[in-house]
Amino acid sequence: MTNAGGRRAKLSGARVDMAGKSTGLRAMSDPGAEFAGLVEAVLTRFFAQNARPAPPDAERAAFAARLRGLVEARGLPRPLTAAERGAPGEMSDEECAPLVARVLGGADEPLLAVAARQLVKACFYPEFKTCRDSFREVSPDGSCRRQELERVRGRVSGAHCVDCPHWVALTPAQHEKYLAREWRAGAADFAAHRAVFLPEDFRALRQWLHAWARRR
């Protein structure tokens, strides 16, 4: 992997506890194994929330390995300094499509393609520190799409964007309290489907990537 400073290094693990808190980096006998496990956990949950069986173990492992290889080849976005705020980024279809195809490796499962596209963006969108507040945007018809269960089932990152800074800045308890307070249908509606709206496996992946980008 090459970071913004041009330094190449092998993929190694960032330890993330079950509460989603990054506990730093550690050397691993199998570089990338923890990353692969996090990716596979997101895939398994994403298929389950869409009432679909997860891809077989071998297919999930191969998917995660291809995503790992892509990240090693491209490197992660440059980590922000304490003084920087950063700005949200975008990725055009022309840029994203070949990356997604590489991660899919010829698989033609539509739901897997949805996950691949979102995970590619999660890995390569630049860092920023101020939430876009997309999760509470209201459409002209009065709906809030990021808070509609059936729409959110199609997102690996729940109600939030894949690059939302809240995944790293907030603890699970803080995050849950924040979303419940902002939920248009009420806190009980959020709580009933909390695992879909605020998936902790995705937080673990985001915090792992955040720590990995800061490896020295």
In this predicted model, what pLDDT tens digit does every residue of 12-47 receive, in sequence order?
444 433 333 444 445 444 548 999 999 999 999 999
Model confidence over 172-184: pLDDT tens digits? 999 999 999 999 9
Quick one: pLDDT band at residue 48, thresholds 50, 70, 90? very high
Model confidence over 91-140: pLDDT tens digits? 999 999 999 999 999 999 999 999 999 999 999 999 999 998 999 999 99
Determine the average pLDDT of the residues in 187-205: 98
* Pair 8, 215: CB distance under 8 Å: no
SS3 100: helix
Burial annotation 88-108 (CB, 10 A radius, 16+ → b, else e): beeeeeeebeebbeebbeebe
Residue 2 pLDDT greater than 90, yes or no: no
Quick one: pLDDT band at residue 11, thresholds 50, 70, 90? low
